[in-house]
A and B are shown apart, each in its own frame.
Chain A
Amino acid sequence: MSSFDKTTKPKRKKARYSNSSNIRYVLAGIWEYDRLLLFYLFMNIICTVGNSILPVLMPKYIINEAFTGGSAGAVIGFSVGLGGLLLLCRVGSSLSYWNTSNRIVTARLRFIARSGAKFLSMDYQKLEDPQTLDLAQRGNRAVSNYFEGIEGIMYGVQSSAGNLLTILLTGAIVATLSPLLILGILLLLTVNYAILFRISKMDKKENDALAPIWRKLWYLENTVSNFRIAKDVRLFSLRHFLLGQFDEENRKRLAGQSRIWRLWMWASVAFAFLSLLQEVLLYVVLITNVLEGRILIGDFLMYANGIHTFVNAVSGLMRNITDISRHSKYVADYREFLDLPDIPDGGEPVPDELFHTPLSFEFRGVSFRYPGKEEDAVKNVSFTIRPGERLAVVGLNGAGKTTFLKLLTRLYEPSEGEILLNGKNIRDYDRKDYFRLFSPVFQEIQLFAFTVAENVAMQDHGVIDREKVETCLRTAGLWDKIAALPHGIDHSLLKVIEDDGVDLSGGESAKLALARALYKDAPCILLDEPTAALDAVSEERLYKQFDGMTQGKTALYISHRLASTRFCDRIAVFEGGRIIEEGSHSELMARPSRYAEIFEIQAKYYREEAMAE
Chain B
Amino acid sequence: MTAKKRTTKEAKKKGITFKTALPVLAFFYRKAWEIQKSYFFLILLNAVLSGLSPFINILFPAYIIDELIGGRRISVLAGWVAALVLLNLSAAVANQILSYFINRANLRMEAGFNWLIGNKAMTMDFRHTESAEVLTQLQKAKDGMGWYSGGVAGITENLAGILSGLLTLSGTLAILGSLSPWLILVLVMLLLLNTYLVSRSQKLDTLNRKDMIGILRLFDYYLNLLKDFRFGKDIRLYNAAGMVLSRTDQYIQDDWKARKTVIRNGSRYDAATAGLNVVQQIILYITLGLSLLAGSITVGEAMALLNSANSFVDSLSSIIRQTITLVRNADFMNECKIFLEYPSETVSGDGKTDPGKPHVIEFRDVSFRYPEAESYALRHVSLTLEAGRRLSVVGRNGAGKTTFIKLLTRLYQPTEGQILLDGRDIREYDEEAYRALFSVVFQDFQLLSFSIKENLTATADEENLPDSPVVDALEKAGFGERLQSLEKGIHTTVYRYFDDDGSDFSGGESQKIALARAIYKNAPITILDEPTAALDPIAEYEIYTHFDNLIGGKTAIYISHRLSSCRFCERIAVFAGGEVVEYGTHDELLAKGGEYTTMWHAQAQYYV
Q: Using Cβ atoms and an 8 Å threshold, which residues of chain A touch B450?
A: 245
Query: What is the distance, in angstroms, from B198's C-beta to the closest C-beta of chain A?
Result: 13
Question: Is B27 engaged at the interface, CB distance under 8 Å to the other chain?
Answer: no
Say whether B88 contacts A537, CB under 8 Å: no
A residues 197-237 near B (Cβ < 8 Å) are: 212, 215-216, 218-221, 223-237
A599 and B541 alpha carbons, distance in the complex (Å)? 11
B170 at the interface (CB under 8 A from A): no
**Cβ contact of A98, chosen from B262, B275, B539, cutoff 8 A:** B262
Q: Are A66 and B292 in contact (CB under 8 A)?
A: yes
| A436 and B239 contact, Cβ closer than 8 Å, known pairs A90-B275, A235-B409, A605-B567 | yes
Residues of B within 8 A of A301 (CB): 65, 303
CB distance from B540 to the nearest CB of A (A): 8
Chain B residue contacts of A581, Cβ below 8 A? none
Q: Is B584 in the interface zone, CB < 8 Å from A?
A: no
- Which residues between 67 and 97 of chain A lie within 8 Å of chain B, taking CB atoms? 67, 69-70, 72, 75-76, 78-80, 83, 86-87, 90-91, 93-95, 97
Verify B243–A218 contact, CB threshold 8 A. Answer: no
- Which listed residue (B132, B225, B263, B607) contacts A99, Cβ 8 A? B263
Chain A minimum-CB-distance residue to B280:
A83
**A537-B517 CB under 8 A given contacts A247-B115, A269-B96, A446-B231:** no
A335 vs chain B, min Cβ distance (A): 17
User: Does A497 belong to the interface (CB within 8 Å)?
Assistant: yes
A561–B532 Cα gap in the complex (Å)? 12
Residues from chain A with Cβ under 8 Å of B563 in the complex: 536, 606
Complex interface: chain A residues within 8 A of B606 (CB): 562-564, 566
**Of listed B134, B262, B541, B561, residue having the most chain A CB within 10 A:** B561
Whether the pair B88, A279 counts as a contact (CB closer than 8 A) is: yes
Instruction: Contact check, A2 vs B501: say whether CB atoms are below 8 A apart.
Output: yes
Interface residues of B in 305-330 (CB under 8 A from A): 306
Per the bound structure, the CA–CA distance linking A212 and B234 in Å amounts to 35
- Is A497's CB under 8 angstroms from B245's CB? no
Of all chain A residues, the one with the shortest Cβ separation from B436 is A237
Chain B interface: which of A172-180, A252-260, A316-324, A377-385? A252-260
Question: A220 CA to B111 CA in the complex, in Å?
Answer: 11
Contact residues in A for B286 (Cβ distance below 8 Å):
75-76, 79-80
CA A177 to CA B218, docked complex, whole Å: 59
The residues of A that contact B64 with a CB separation of less than 8 Å are 283, 287
Mask: chain B, 245-280; 1 = CB below 8 Å from A; 0 = not: 111110010011001001100110011011101110
State whether B398 touches A505 (Cβ < 8 A): yes
Is A496's CB under 8 angstroms from B459's CB?
A: no
With A75-B286, A95-B271 as contacts: A598 and B537 at CB distance below 8 Å: yes
B103 and A261 contact, CB distance less than 8 A: yes
Pick the contact of B299: A9, A63, A121, A449 (CB < 8 A).
Answer: A63
A2→B503 contact, CB < 8 A: yes
Residues of chain A within 8 A of B41, CB atoms compared? none
Q: Is the CB of A136 within 8 A of B397?
A: no
**Closest residue to B566 on the A side, CB-wise?**
A605
The reply to whether A225 and B142 contact each other, CB–CB distance below 8 Å, is: yes
Whether a CB of chain A sits under 8 angstroms from the CB of B554 is no
The smallest C-beta distance from B515 to any residue of chain A, in angstroms, reads: 13
B438 at the interface (CB under 8 A from A): yes
Q: Residue A15 at the B interface, CB < 8 A? A: no
- Residue pair B561, A602 in contact (C-beta under 8 Å): no
The answer to whether B567 touches A611, judged by C-beta atoms less than 8 angstroms apart, is yes
Convert B73-101 into 0s and 1s, putting 1 for each residue whose CB lies closer than 8 angstroms to a CB of A: 01001000100111011001100110110
Q: For A407, what are the chain B residues with a Cβ–Cβ distance below 8 Å?
A: none
Determine the residue in chain A with the shortest Cβ distance to B251.
A109
- Nearest-neighbour CB distance to chain A for B525, whole angstroms, equals 11
Q: Are A231 and B459 in contact (CB under 8 A)?
A: no
Residues in A whose Cβ lies below 8 Å from that of B114? 221, 224-225, 246
Q: Are A80 and B282 in contact (CB under 8 A)?
A: yes
Q: Which of A153-161, A354-362, A454-462 contacts B (4 or more CB under 8 A)?
A: A454-462
B residues near A262, Cβ cutoff 8 Å: 100
- Residues from chain A with Cβ under 8 Å of B4 in the complex: 499
B564: chain A residues at CB < 8 Å are 602, 604-606
Which A residues lie within 8 Å of B103 (CB)? 257, 261
Among the stretches B123-131, B174-182, B472-480, the one at the interface with A is B123-131
Contact A87 B278 (CB under 8 A): yes
Asked whether B454 is an interface residue with its Cβ less than 8 Å from the other chain, the reply is yes
B241, CB-defined interface residue at 8 Å: yes
Chain B CB within 8 A of A25 CB: no
B535 and A397 within 8 A (CB): yes
Q: Report the minimum CB–CB distance from A94 to chain B (whole Å).
A: 4
Q: Mark B443-480, 1 if CB is under 8 A from A, else 0.
A: 01110111000100011010000000000000000000
Q: Across the interface, do B223 and A538 meet the contact criterion of CB distance under 8 Å?
A: no
Task: Give the residue of B99, B282, B292, B504 whose beta carbon is less than 8 angstroms from that of A67.
Answer: B292
Q: Is A411 an interface residue (CB 8 A)?
A: yes
Would B107 and A253 count as touching, CB distance under 8 A?
yes
A269 CA / B561 CA spacing, docked (Å): 70
CB neighbours (8 Å) of A304 from chain B are 61
Q: Given the complex, which residues of A lie within 8 Å of B521, measured CB to CB?
A: 236
Q: Verify if B383 is at the interface (C-beta below 8 Å from A).
A: no
Known: A233-B122, A562-B537. A287 touches B68 (CB 8 A): yes
| A397, B288: Cβ atoms closer than 8 Å | no
Asked if B293 is at the interface of the complex by the 8 Å CB criterion, the answer is: yes
* B538 at the binding interface (Cβ < 8 Å): yes
B107: A residues at CB distance < 8 A = 253-254, 257
Q: Let me know if B354 is at the binding interface, CB within 8 A.
A: no
> Are B252 and A113 within 8 A (Cβ)?
yes
A520 at the interface (CB under 8 A from B): yes
B396: chain A residues at CB < 8 Å are 535-538
The 30 sampled A-B contact pairs (Cβ below 8 Å) are: A2-B501, A62-B285, A70-B293, A75-B293, A79-B289, A87-B275, A90-B271, A98-B262, A99-B267, A121-B241, A124-B233, A220-B118, A228-B446, A233-B122, A234-B126, A234-B411, A235-B409, A242-B448, A262-B100, A265-B99, A300-B68, A397-B508, A397-B536, A397-B539, A435-B239, A532-B534, A535-B395, A536-B563, A537-B599, A599-B607
A239-B119, A432-B239, A442-B233 given. 17 additional CB < 8 A pairs?
A9-B500, A63-B292, A98-B267, A102-B262, A105-B259, A110-B252, A219-B498, A227-B129, A235-B409, A245-B450, A279-B84, A283-B64, A283-B85, A396-B537, A458-B243, A566-B606, A602-B564
